């Protein structure tokens, strides 16, 4: 396979990963429509993820060593708590405000990566990137305040705040585990994260009520496979061919896909102010990602 073929395959894998991942909020909405609680959906999603990753690690054996007792590494444990926080917050966010608003705000997570890298890792942040961070968060505010029920329902502010918590927690998770990614396959890091994340999910649920709609079990199994496992494998394949900076650019296909599906499947529409906010968020994220890619390429 020549270089151009590898790049073409990498682009396909990157876009496919983003599209698979975009089904997460849609499946959450379907799960809530079955009558299942957020706690039940989170618990079974985590359980199915842990089972899928356990089987995958057994099947995809590799010769890499990595840190000794990686599953007990502090960064894995803390990262799993941050990942669990992001998952739980995103589920509650969709329950409060629906798919579209949650997707708009959560899609800002690459900007939190850039911001936290500057604060905690002393990474460079240009004035141009700082400007786009401000415009993106302005777009998030527009998306929340532009919701038709924003003036009469506190749930909109709760949902928007939880979506921001999900975005920031996921960004922290990425920063915590990125130092472990050298020499360790992403599937192992994700598997150990999935194992540790079962405990917070079960504590949230605490098995009450015990009865879970059968259809919700199928939906949470689909979340584990289609919106977690498949995106991870495709993302790893894309990064190996394109590199992380170029691959991240294609992640923008995810929010666009989720917003389109929310409109087609649930009839969710955006107000003019929300649409302007969504465009501001996505264009700001794109600008920062392209800026980061240019830095690496040069």
CA distance 106 to 128: 22
Neighbours of 63 (CB within 10 A): 4
pLDDT at position 59 is: 80
* pLDDT above 60 for 64: no
CA distance 227 to 206: 25
Neighbours of 214 (CB within 10 A): 8
Using pLDDT thresholds of 50, 70 and 90, give the confidence band for residue 190: confident
The b-or-e profile of 129-138 (16+ CB within 10 A means b, else e) is beebbeebbe
Give the SS3 label for residue 187.
Answer: helix
**Tens digit of pLDDT for each residue in 68-102?**
677 788 888 998 999 999 999 999 999 999 999 99
pLDDT at position 62 is: 56
pLDDT at position 4 is: 55
What value does the mean pLDDT take over residues 148-173? 89
pLDDT at position 1 is: 47
CA distance 150 to 187: 40
pLDDT at position 167 is: 94
What value does the mean pLDDT take over residues 249-273? 91
pLDDT at position 209 is: 81
Q: What is the mean pLDDT of the chain?
A: 87
Could you identify the residue written with the tokens 């590494």? Answer: 73
**Tens digit of pLDDT for each residue in 2-61?**
555 567 888 898 899 999 999 999 999 999 999 999 999 999 999 999 999 999 888 876
- What is the pTM assigned to this prediction? 0.89
pLDDT at position 160 is: 94
The top-scoring range by mean pLDDT among 173-182, 237-246, 281-290 is 281-290
* pLDDT above 50 for 282: yes
Domain boundaries, the chain: 19-61+68-297
**Tens digit of pLDDT for each residue in 113-154?**
888 888 888 778 888 889 999 999 999 999 999 988 887 678
Percent of the chain with pLDDT over 90: 52
Please indicate whether residue 24 or residue 190 has the higher confidence score (pLDDT): 24
């Amino acid at each position: 396979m020549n270089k151009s073929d590898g790049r073409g395959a990498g682009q396909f894998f990157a876009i496919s990963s983003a599209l698979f991942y975009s089904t997460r909020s849609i499946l959450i909405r379907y799960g809530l429509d079955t009558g299942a609680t957020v706690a039940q959906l989170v618990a079974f999603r985590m359980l199915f993820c842990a089972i899928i990753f356990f089987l995958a690690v057994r099947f995809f054996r590799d010769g890499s060593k990595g840190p000794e007792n990686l599953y007990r590494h502090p960064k894995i444990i803390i990262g799993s708590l941050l990942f669990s926080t992001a998952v739980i917050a995103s589920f509650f966010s969709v329950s409060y405000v629906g798919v579209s608003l949650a997707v708009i705000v959560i899609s800002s997570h690459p900007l939190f990566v850039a911001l936290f890298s500057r604060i905690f890792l002393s990474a460079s942040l240009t004035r141009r990137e700082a400007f786009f961070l401000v415009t993106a968060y302005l777009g998030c505010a527009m998306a929340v305040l532009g919701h038709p029920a924003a003036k009469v329902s506190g749930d909109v502010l709760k949902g928007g705040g939880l979506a921001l918590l999900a975005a920031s927690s996921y960004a922290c998770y990425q920063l915590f585990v990125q130092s472990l990614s050298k020499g360790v396959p992403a599937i192992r890091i994700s598997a150990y994260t999935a194992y540790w994340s079962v405990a917070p999910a079960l504590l949230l649920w605490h098995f009450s009520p015990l009865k879970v709609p059968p259809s919700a079990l199928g939906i949470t199994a689909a979340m584990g496979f289609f919106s977690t496992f498949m995106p991870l494998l495709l993302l790893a394949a894309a990064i190996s061919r394109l590199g992380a900076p170029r691959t991240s650019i294609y992640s923008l296909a995810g929010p666009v896909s989720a917003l389109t599906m929310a409109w087609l499947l649930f009839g969710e529409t955006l107000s003019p102010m929300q649409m302007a906010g969504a465009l501001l968020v996505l264009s700001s994220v794109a600008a920062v990602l392209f800026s980061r890619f240019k830095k690496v390429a040069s």
